[in-house]
């Protein structure tokens, strides 16, 4: 079993960043006392990171362990961007979710959500540590920006992380769909040519599995309880799937191609794949694996529904897309071209996505009942 290194001594610029982080917690209303004895450890799994670059034009060379070993400035810039985007998502999700704790349906759900928020903050620390430790003044500036952007103000880098999470149904959708995308992004970075980044991913992936598991189990408990109709739940599935698909980026992405050429971000199944990568379809390949996983997971969740309830399903990957070849085009949740005018399209969207009336019904009726299967918290 690979050993995890926990860093004990921090560089001065990261200590300064920690003070800024403490201010950030205060600004967003996250009470540090909620952490208990939880520590934001910086963890590296060097064994699973590998010693040689695994793909791209530098394949077979030793992985880069310091900035000065990276052969080109544009590669350094690309790594900084990767780390910054990942860190941005971690802090954004806490901004989106921390207000939900007081309204948790059970103590189990409150503790689970709090654990997720603690670990997301640790992941953000990990990315900030990489920026401050390995990338000089440029990294310090980018680390500071991780705490300056804000999901509530809509200034986070990726769209999903500016979406409001207004209630616990959204929370379970987010952790099921968006944290599952997070698993894919972390695994694609786990083979990175920049060894400290690759070594960061092992501990993060172990923690991320709890996050997406919380989402899947939460949705299963909701469906099994049967208070919220499956036809109603389906609208929220339709809402969140498209934004999860968009997180994989544009089709035929040149930035994904260059990241692969540089060896800094691989395919989701890079170490398992037997065929050479299609460098023109990198985002598409990972998105398709994600999409198929969503369909399998939704079949499992739907099996918990009460007799007479309609089966839940994952909408077409063409529906309501903002990125890629289907962006801005009107397709139904089944994937068929929509044959109506703009007014009819808006009416159709109101029938398959949550409306203001649906939100009121959810908050004022369904969530006032015993809407989720009870589960006892057995931890501390």
Task: Please give the pLDDT value at position 378.
Answer: 79
Q: What residues have CB less than 8 Å from 96, skipping those under 6 apart? A: 151, 152, 161, 163, 164, 165, 174
Q: Rounded to 10 degrees, what is the CA torsion of 271, 263, 156, 235?
A: -30
Q: Which residue has the tokens 């962006």?
A: 327
Contact 320, 326 (CB under 8 A): no
Residue 380 has pLDDT above 70, yes or no: no
pTM of the model: 0.96
For 10-65, what is each residue's pLDDT tens digit? 999 999 999 999 999 999 999 999 999 999 999 999 999 999 999 999 999 999 99
Per-domain residue ranges for the chain? 10-30+46-368
First to last CA, the chain: 27
Residue 1 has pLDDT above 80, yes or no: no
For 232-282, what is each residue's pLDDT tens digit? 999 999 999 999 999 999 999 999 999 999 999 999 999 999 999 999 999
Task: Please give the pLDDT value at position 2.
Answer: 62
Quick check: helix, strand or coil at residue 224?
helix
Task: Please give the pLDDT value at position 259.
Answer: 97
Residue 348 has pLDDT above 70, yes or no: yes
Which CATH number is associated with domain 10-30+46-368?
Answer: 1.10.620.20
- pLDDT averaged over every residue in the chain: 96
CA dist 321 and 158 (Å) reads 14
| % of the chain surpassing 70 pLDDT | 99
Q: What residues have CB less than 8 Å from 114, skipping those under 6 apart? A: 34, 101
Contact 199, 44 (CB under 8 A): yes
Output the CA angle 105-108-110, nearest 5 degrees: 60
Q: Hey, which residues does 356 pair with through a beta bridge?
A: none
Secondary structure E strands in 7-76: 43-44
What is the phi/psi pair of residue 44, to 5°?
A: -130, 135
Alpha carbon separation from 282 to 23, 64, 162, 251, 288 (Å, rounded): 39, 23, 25, 8, 10
């Amino acid at each position: 079993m690979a050993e995890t290194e926990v860093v004990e001594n921090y560089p001065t610029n990261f200590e300064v960043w920690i003070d800024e982080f403490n201010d950030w917690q205060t600004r967003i209303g996250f009470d540090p006392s909620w952490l208990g004895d939880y520590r934001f450890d910086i963890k590296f799994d060097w064994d699973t990171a590998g010693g040689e670059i695994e793909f791209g034009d530098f394949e077979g060379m030793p992985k880069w362990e310091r900035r000065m070993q990276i052969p080109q400035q544009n590669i350094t810039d690309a790594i900084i961007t990767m780390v910054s985007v990942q860190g941005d998502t971690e802090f954004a999700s806490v901004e989106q979710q921390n207000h939900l704790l007081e309204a948790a349906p059970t103590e189990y759900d409150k503790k689970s959500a709090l654990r997720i928020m603690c670990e997301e903050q640790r992941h953000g620390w990990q990315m900030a540590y990489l920026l401050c430790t390995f990338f000089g003044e440029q990294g310090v500036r980018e680390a500071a920006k991780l705490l300056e952007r804000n999901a509530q103000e809509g200034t986070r880098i990726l769209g999903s992380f500016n979406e409001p999470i207004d209630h616990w149904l959204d929370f379970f959708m987010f952790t099921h769909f968006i944290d599952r995308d997070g698993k894919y992004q972390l695994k694609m970075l786990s083979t990175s040519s920049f060894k400290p980044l690759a070594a960061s991913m092992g501990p993060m992936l172990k923690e991320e599995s709890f996050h997406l598991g919380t989402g899947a189990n939460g949705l299963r408990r909701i469906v099994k309880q049967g208070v919220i109709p499956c036809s109603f739940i389906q609208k929220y599935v339709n809402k969140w799937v498209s934004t999860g698909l968009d997180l994989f980026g544009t089709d035929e992405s040149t930035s994904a191609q260059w990241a692969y050429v540089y060896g800094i971000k691989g395919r989701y199944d890079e170490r398992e794949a037997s065929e050479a990568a299609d460098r023109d379809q990198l985002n598409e390949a990972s998105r398709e694996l994600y999409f198929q996983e969503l369909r399998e997971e939704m079949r499992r969740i739907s099996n918990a529904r009460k007799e007479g309830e309609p089966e839940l399903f994952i909408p077409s990957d063409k529906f309501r897309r903002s990125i890629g070849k289907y962006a801005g085009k009107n397709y139904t949740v089944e994937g068929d071209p929509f044959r109506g005018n703009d007014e009819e399209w808006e009416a159709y969207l109101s029938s398959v996505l949550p409306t203001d009336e649906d939100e009121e019904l959810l908050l004022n009726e369904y969530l006032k009942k015993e809407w989720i299967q009870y589960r006892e918290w057995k931890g501390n």
